[in-house]
Structure 1
C-alpha cells in the first residue's frame, strides 16, 4: 500500500513540474510579442498617415515608438522651412530677378534666362545709348532734334510728335522716360546714328558688352517684332549699368507729370506727360525705372529703389496685368531691403609709393582700383570684417598706369570675401643710358 501511495505521489509531482511557470512565461512572451509587433505596425501606419494629413497630432494618443516617429517628422518639417524661406518671396509673374546694383549680385531669380518680349523696357537700352552719346560729347541736352516722318509714324505709346517738329534732347529724354514715347525713341536713334538700324546694331553691341547673353534687339522702342527678345537677368544688367553709370537718369524717370510744348506749322500746343511707372507715387523708396506692355510681352517693369544706401533692381516680365507687375516688384524690393546689408570700405588704409626697378623714377604712387563693396544676405556681423594688404616688393619698368602692384584682401570669419587691386597711378618709363647719367650727376652734385 505504501508503495502504491509513493508511486501516486511521484506521478502527481511530475505533473506539477510540467506546468511550471517557466514554460508558461515562454508561451505568454511569444504571444505578446507577436501581438505588440502587429499593433505597432498598424498604429505606426495609421498615425503616419494622420501626420501627413494633419499637422495637429499632439492630442492623439500613440505608443512611445510612434511619438519618436512624430518627432522625426516634425524635425524634418522644421528643417524644410528655412529652405522654403531661402527660395524667396512669392512672385506670380513667370520671370523675375532681384539684383543689388552696386555689386551686381542677384538676390532672387525665377526663370531669369528665358528670352521673352520686353515691350518698352527696351527703352532702358535706348536711354543708355543716349547717355553714352552725351558723356562722349557727341550730343548735348540742348541740341534740337528734328522728327522724321518715319519717327512720327510710330504706333503704340507716343507723345504725338509731328514730322518736322523739333524738340531738345532733354525733352526727348522726358518723352521716352516718362511717357514711353516710341516716336521720341526713333527720333533720337536717327539723330545719334543717322538711322534706326545702325542704332539698333549699337544696342546689340552694347548688350553684348554687358554680358546680356540672351538678348536680341530688333527696334529701339520695344514694339512687338519677331526675334525682339531679352531676359529678366539681362534687363537687370542694363538697368544696373544705366543707374550706376548715369545716376542723373533719376531726374527724368522720377518725374510724375510734366507738360511739353508742341510747336508745328499748326501752331503751339501743350501736351501732358504722365509717368507710366506708378511706383513713382506708390512706393516710397522708388527711384525708377521703366515699364512696358504689349500683347505678346504682357506687363513688364524694371523697378529701381534705394534704401539705406542699398540700390535694388527688380525686374518683372510677362505679368498678367499692370497691378500684378507692380505688386510683384514691390514684393521683391521689400524682400531685398529686409534681407540685405551692404559693407562699403570708403576709407581704406593709405598707400605708400612702390619701388620701380630700372625706371626714370625710383618709385611710383599707387591707388586702389575702386571701392570695395560686399553684400550680405545672411545677417552676418559685418563689423568683424578684417583687411590685409598684400604688396609686391617692386615693379619693373616700364610701368603703365593701372599695373597691379598688390591687393587689399577682405575676410570674414576666416574666409576671403573679396579684394581690391592696388594699381600704379601713373606711367614710369624705362630708364636709358642718359637717364642713368642724369641720376649719377644728380647724386654727385648732392654729395658735393
Structure 2
C-alpha cells in the first residue's frame, strides 16, 4: 500500500511538472517570426521602361532634368558621373555671398573695396568684367558681374570679402556642398577655372542651383539680359551682357527660349560646354543640366543651348502630374483584429500620392509594396496608422503613404482579461516560479512520506518489544 502511495504521488508530480515544463521550453524554442511581406506585383503590371524616356538622348557627357517643384528626376544621363563644372561654380560662390547677407554679416548695397586676391588662380583667357584690386563697388555689382558675364575676378573679390581669404572661402564652399548633399563634388576655387581637383556631377549641380534659386536676388540676376555697373573710382560705367543664349540674344541668336528663367553657363577645354538652365511654363518649374557638350554640331548649332532647350521642352511636352494613389482607395487587404468580437478592420491610404510621369505611363501600372501586420489588438481607433504602402515602378520608388484604419473596433473585456492571464503565465519568471513551487511540493511530500515511514517502523518495534517483555515477566512470576 505504501509503495502504491509513493508511486501515485510521483505520477502526480510528473503530471504537474508536465504542465509547467512545456511552458518553460516554449520560452526558448525558436519560433518563426512573421513579418509582413511586400505584396507581389500583379502579373498585369508592365515592366518595360517608358518609350518616351528610352527615345531621349542628350549630346553631352551628362544630363539631368528635374521637376523643381517636387524634386522629382524626370530624366537622367550619367547624372552622378564625374564632370568639371567650369563657371557653373559661380552659383556656389554667389549662394554663399547671399547667405552671408541673409545672416546680416553684409548688405546687398554695401560698397566694398576689392581685395588683393582679385586675380587668384585665373589664367589669361578667363572671362572678366575688368574689375581691379582697390576698386570700390557694391556687393550687388559683384554678384551681377559673376552671374551675367561670368567674371572670374568678381568671385575672388566676394570670396575674400566673405571669408577674409580665398582658400578659406573654398573650405566654406566644400562644407556647404556637403550640407546640400553634393557628395560627388569637390571645389578648388571660387570661379571654376580648371583644376583636376575641382569636380562635380550633374545631379550635384542641380542641388546647388535649386538652393540658389530660392533667393530672389539670385533669380533676378540669372534671368537678366544685361547688368549695368555705374562708374567707380577705377572705371567708367559698364554694361555687362548675359552669356546664357536661352535668356539673351546679345552673344548668340536663335537660341532664345521664351520660358527660360536662368541660370548659368560654363566652359573650359576640359569641361566642354555646360549649362544649368531653368524654365517656367504653365506654372511648372523645371531645371535642366547639360554637361560636356561639344561647342558646335555639324550644322554649326551651339550645342549646349540647343540640347538644354530640347531637354526643357521634352519635360514640358511629355510629362504631366498624375495621381498614382487615391486617398479614398479601399483596395487593400483586411487586417485581423484580436481581443474583439470583430474579426478584422479595413484600411485605406491616409492621403493621395501624385507624381510627374511620362505621358505614356499608366498610373495603374505601379506596384504596391505593403507593410501591414497580420493582426492588431483591439481597441483600434478610426484613422489609426496600421502600416504603409510604397508605390514603385520598374524598381524606382515614387512615394510612401500611411495606411490607416477605416473604422473603430472595440475591445472585448473578457477576451482582454483572458489574454492578460495567458500572457502572465507566459512570462519566463512566472514559469520559473511555478517550476520551483512544483519541485518544492515534491520535495515536501517526499520528505513527509520518508518521515512517516521512519515513524511507523520505530513505533512497530516498540510494540513488539513490549509484548515480549510481558511474556518474560509472567514466566518469572511463576
Give the TM interval when normalised to the shorter protein.
0.5 to 0.7
Q: How does 1:359-374 map to 2 (within 5 A)?
A: 374=355
Match of 1:242 among 168, 193, 212: 212
Deviations 1:145-179 (A, max 9, x none): 22123214644111111111111111111111101
Task: Tell me how far 1:106 sits from its aligned partner.
Answer: 1.1
Q: How does 1:286-301 map to 2 (within 5 A)?
A: 286-301=260-275
Contact 2:184 2:204 in 1 (8 A): yes
Contact 2:145 2:151 in 1 (8 A): yes
Hey, what does 1:283 align to over in structure 2? 257
TM-score normalised over the length of structure 1: 0.59
Hey, what does 1:87 align to over in structure 2? 54
Deviations 1:285-335 (A, max 9, x none): 101000010121111110111112221111111111061111110111011
Task: Tell me how far 1:380 sits from its aligned partner.
Answer: 7.3
Q: How does 1:36-435 map to 2 (within 5 A)?
A: 84-152=51-119, 154-155=122-123, 156-243=126-213, 245-264=214-233, 268-281=235-248, 282-321=256-295, 323-342=302-321, 374-378=355-359, 418=399
CA distance in 1 between counterparts of 2:195 and 2:105 reads 30
Structure 2: segments with no counterpart, 5+ residues: 1-45, 249-255, 297-301, 328-351, 364-383, 403-478
Task: Tell me how far 1:92 sits from its aligned partner.
Answer: 1.0
Contact 1:157 1:180 in 2 (8 A): yes
Contact 2:391 2:400 in 1 (8 A): no
Task: Tell me how far 1:278 sits from its aligned partner.
Answer: 0.8
Deviations 1:115-172 (A, max 9, x none): 1211001111112212221222222101122212321464411111111111111111
CA distance in 1 between counterparts of 2:391 and 2:272 reads 44
Aligned residues: 301
Rg: which structure is higher? 2
Deviations 1:205-253 (A, max 9, x none): 111122211110000100011210011111111112222x224422101
Distance 1:131 1:375, change over 3 A: farther
TM-score normalised over the length of structure 2: 0.56
Distance 1:133 1:92, change over 3 A: same
Distance 1:293 1:321, change over 3 A: same
CA distance in 2 between counterparts of 1:410 and 1:375 reads 19
CA distance in 1 between counterparts of 2:151 and 2:195 reads 17
Distance 1:88 1:315, change over 3 A: farther
For 1:279, what is the secondary structure of its paired residue? coil
Select the structure with the greater relative contact order (CA < 8 A; seq sep ≥ 6): 2
Structure 1: segments with no counterpart, 5+ residues: 1-78, 349-370, 383-404, 422-448
Distance 1:373 1:195, change over 3 A: farther
Give the RMSD, CA atoms, in angstroms: 3.9
Contact 1:297 1:317 in 2 (8 A): yes
